[in-house]
Amino acid sequence: MAMRSIQQAFEVRYSYPVHCTHKLFDRANPCLASIFAPALSQPKLWVVLDQAVAEHHPTLLAEIEAYAQASQAFELVEPSLVLAGGEAIKHSSEPLQAVYAGINRYAIDRHSYVMAIGGGALIDMVGYAAATAHRGVRLIRVPTTVLAQNDAAVGVKNSINAFGKKNFLGTFAPPYAVLNDSHFLTTLSERDWRSGIAEAIKVALLKDSAFFATIEQTTSALQQRDLAVMQDQIFRCAELHLAHIAGGDPFERGSARPLDFGHWAAHKLEYLSDYNLRHGEAVAIGIALDCTYSYLLGDLAEPTWQRVLNCLTAVGFDLYHPALSSYLEQPMHPQSLLSGLTEFREHLGGQLTITLIRDIGQPYDVHTIDLSVMQQAIRSLAERA
């Protein structure tokens, strides 16, 4: 029988704002109210809040309620859901089911809003729930860590972990809006303040040598928690990430993931450390490892390699963790860092594609890794530590 075919093709345009502000829920701040399109009735808004944020900002829920009453921009659905954040929130199905249950209980439909307030892991999980309930309800992200504000929460990914693998279940679903409130950064721990800087270093190494030089020049200000310097860094980092996402492959149809520079090792390190390493801490090690590998190959000049390692160290990152060396001579062992290369390829499919740099602002892709040179790079970091 002859084949009969219909070739379907269409394009969907996405647009969402990323606003950077201070004290988002201050009644004098119009930022939040401005994002709601004029509607015949007040849309519902339901808040899912990171427990650590709730503890550091005990009046936050009352402030949101007062903002809702004063602005009349939305109907606040209560009670809000408070969940323990951190990477553990992506491991089990219970937090996810709690969000689904709330969306169902409060009749949050596709013209209602879920607001996720917290770190990148909570926002990832709530985003996955929002993207899959009713095939997508509107998500407002209010990231509260440096890493979430400059990277994790500004893009189009949502995910949870499964089968011992990071982000195994997930969706590409753009948020309705991202609202970065720098006030939340003032209560971060030292580790969480520092952790997000790794993503700024990463994107600077890939795309903007002037931005990298600025980071180098401001490491002491960052160590001293200069909020204005951090606000500038977050804005530029988010800008570079968003420009990349808009540049042709937002849903990662190809084999390359340039923004995952340093991440093949980072994702495996997080797992091997039982997630005691923060994502940004693992990314810093992953960047150091891949730059050391490029240097050992002869692709990255020694002064540039040292610049990268010195910058990471100056910010306060440790560039070695014992998990780097576990089962080093058995690269296929599931507890070996090097098995992360296979997992990285499987996550995207296609051929293995690892982004490295030849110079600051000059990335290139490789499709094979010389395991003996990578083992040498790990030993080099161990000796340096």
Bridge partner list, 143 = 118
192 contacts 86 by C-beta, under 8 angstroms: no
* pLDDT at 258 (0 to 100): 67
Q: Rounded to whole angstroms, how far apart are CA atoms 377 and 40?
A: 61
Helix (H) or strand (E) holding 378: helix 371-384
The predicted-structure confidence for 26-72, as pLDDT tens digits, reads as follows 999 999 999 997 766 889 999 999 999 999 999 999 999 999 999 99
The predicted-structure confidence for 260-299, as pLDDT tens digits, reads as follows 899 999 999 999 999 999 999 999 999 999 999 999 999 9
Q: Count how many Cα atoms sit within 13 Å of the Cα of residue 98 in the half-sphere of its side chain.
A: 18
Phi-psi region of 248 (alpha: psi -120 to 50; beta: other; left: phi over 0): left
Eight-class DSSP state of 333: S
* pLDDT at 220 (0 to 100): 97
Query: How would DSSP label each residue in 22-67?
Result: S-TTSTT--HHHHTSPP-SSPPEEEEEEEHHHHHH-TTHHHHHHHH
Q: Which domains does the chain have, with CATH numbers?
A: 18-187 (3.40.50.1970), 190-384 (1.20.1090.10)
266 contacts 283 by C-beta, under 8 angstroms: yes
The predicted-structure confidence for 157-172, as pLDDT tens digits, reads as follows 999 999 888 889 999 9
* pLDDT at 305 (0 to 100): 98
* pLDDT at 255 (0 to 100): 53
Sites in the chain below the pLDDT cut of 50: none
* pLDDT at 111 (0 to 100): 93
